[in-house]
Structure 1
Amino acid sequence: MKLATYQNATRDGQLMVVSRDLRHAVAVPQIAANLQAALDNWAQAEPQLQEVYASLNQGALASAVAFEQERCHSPLPRAYQWADGSAYLNHVELVRKARGAEVPDSFYHDPLMYQGGSDAFLPPHAPIPLRDAAWGLDFEGEVAVITGDVPLGADAAECGSHIRLLMLVNDVTLRNLIPNELAKGFGFFQSKPATAFSPVAVTPDELGAAWQDGKVHLPLLVDYNDAFYGKPNAGQEMQFNFPQLVAHVAKTRELVAGSIIGSGTISNRERSTGSCCLAEQRMIEIIDSGAAVTPFMKLGDKVRIEMKDAQGASIFGVIAQTVVAHD
C-alpha cells in the first residue's frame, strides 16, 4: 500500500491513498483525516485503506484523481519522534579516517543515533532555505521507517512487527556547525535543520523480495545538479537493520505510533556506487590527496533522491529540492 499527504490548510495535511504506479490518488476522509490519525488507529484503518488501495489499482474508483507529487508534504508533516541512526559504518569509517581517528569497537555493536527535530519537516519538493553559505549545507540520502506503538524494552524481533511504513529521506545537514556542537559533548542541534521525506510512504510488502532481514535491498539514486552522484545499495553493508535500530530506541522508552527512525547516510565501500552526501566525497578527497575540493551546496544547487524497483518503476516518488536564500 502507498500513502501520501497533500498539503492543505491544516498542519497535518490530507491523507491520500496512491496507486502502485503513482499515477492516481484518492482522499479517504471517511477512514482518517491524516496519516497520523490512521497510524493511531492502525488496526481498524489499515484494512480499510488496503481495500481502497486494491480498488484504486484496479481502476474502480470514480473519485480518483491524478496524483501530483508537487502537492505533497512529507507523509508526516510533523511527528512525535524523529531519531536518525548511522547504520552504514563505511560512512563513519571515512569520516574518522579523514581526520586520522580510529572507529571505536563499540560502533560495530551499538548503533549511533541522534534525536532530530520533528516539529516541522520540509515537503519533498520544497526549497531548502539557507541563511548562511558558510554553514556548509549538505544533503544526506537515507531510508526511514514509521512505527506503530512500540513498548518499552521490545527486542528487535518484536520491533520488526511494529514497522508500518518506509520512506526516503533527505536529512539536511549544516556540516560546518557540527564540530563546535560535538565539542560541547551534547550532540547535534543547530547543525540539523528541517528534514524532507519522500512524497510517498509504503508498507513493507510493497517492496517484495527487496525487503529482507529488515533492510531495503535496492539502490538509492541520487542526482546532484542534474548529474549522477550516487547509487549505493541500501541493503548492503548496513551494520544494524531497522528492527535493531527501533529496538535501540525502545531500550529506555516507549515509541508512539508515528515515530520515525532513519538509517543514516547510505554508503557502500565500492567507490563506483558514488555517495549520498557531499561530506563523504570530501572525506575521500582528504584521504586520497590531503584536501577536500568538493564544495558544499550553494544557492541554486539541486538534489534529487529516488528509489526504483527491479522493473525501473519509482517506488516512493521523488525528493527534488533546490537551495534558496532564506527570506
Structure 2
Amino acid sequence: MPELPEVETVRRGLAPAMEGGRIVSMRQNRPDLRFPFPDNFSDRLTGRRIERLDRRAKYILLELDDGAVLASHLGMSGSWRVEPVEGNEAIPGNFHHERSKDGRHDHLIMDLEGPGGRHRIIYNDPRRFGYMFLSDVERLAAHPMMAGLGVEPTGNALNADYLAARFAGRQVPVKAALLDQGVIAGLGNIYVCEALWRARISPRRKAATLVDRRGKAVARLENLVAAIRQVIAEAIEAGGSSLRDHRLTDGSLGYFQHSFNAYGRTGEPCRHDGCGKPVRRIVQSGRSTFYCPSCQK
C-alpha cells in the first residue's frame, strides 16, 4: 500500500493541473471501488471548481468551491495520472520511466479546464481497494474514515512529549505503537522500519521503555522523533518508494527504495558505521520487520 510519502508525492504532482481547474465533465466506468461511489457522484462534481489539494494521512483531499471535499484513498494499487488534452504536454512528475496504462482499470475520468489549460485526470485501480467519499469541509475531521487519526509526521504536533504521553505504560512493541494510526497518521511499515534503524531502536522494544518514571521522553525517544521526520522528508523529496504498484502521476517511479537501510535488506550487512552485521527479518502482527539485532537495542 502506498505510504504517506507516496501519497504526498501524488498530491504535489496533481496540484499544478487540478488547483483552480473546473471539472467540465466526469465519467464513471463502474459504480464502485472498494465501496460504492457517492450518490449522484458525477452530477455533484461536474461544474465544480477545485480550490486546492491537501492531504490528511493517506488521503488526497480535493477542496471544492461549494464547501465540499472529495477524499481519495489509493488502497493497494490505486493511482491518479494526468494526460494531455488538446496538445497540452504539461505532465507533472520528476522522473521519466514509461508507465503501463491499462484502460480496463480506468474507473474515473475527469476533464478539467483551468489556469494551466485543459487536463484529463484519470483514476486507475486494478485491485479496486481504493475508495472515495464526499464530505462538507467542516465535518471532514468527524467523518468515520477520518475520525481518530493521530498527528501528521510532518507537522510540529509530532514531538517527543506527544509520543511520551501515548507510549507511557504501553507494553506493545514500539513498532506496533508507531503503526497505530491513532498515534501518527499515515506512517506505515516501510518508514517505521527505516526510522527505527536510524534511531538504533529495536522494533521489539516495549513502547513504555522510551518513557521515564515521570512520564517524560528518554533520549532515545527524542532521537526517534528526529528519525521519523528525517526519513519522511527524504522519502517525499525522492518521490516515495515504488514497491509493487505505486507510481507517480506521470507514471514514473519513486526512488527512495534505493536508500533503504533496513527494509528488504535481509542478510545484507548493516550500514551503521562499525557494524556490518546482517540485517534480520522477523514478522510482527503479520508484517515483515527488518532490523539489525546488533545495533538496534
TM superposition score normalised by structure 2: 0.29
Higher relative contact order (CA 8 A, sep 6+): 1
Larger Rg: 2
Normalization by structure 1: what TM-score?
Answer: 0.27
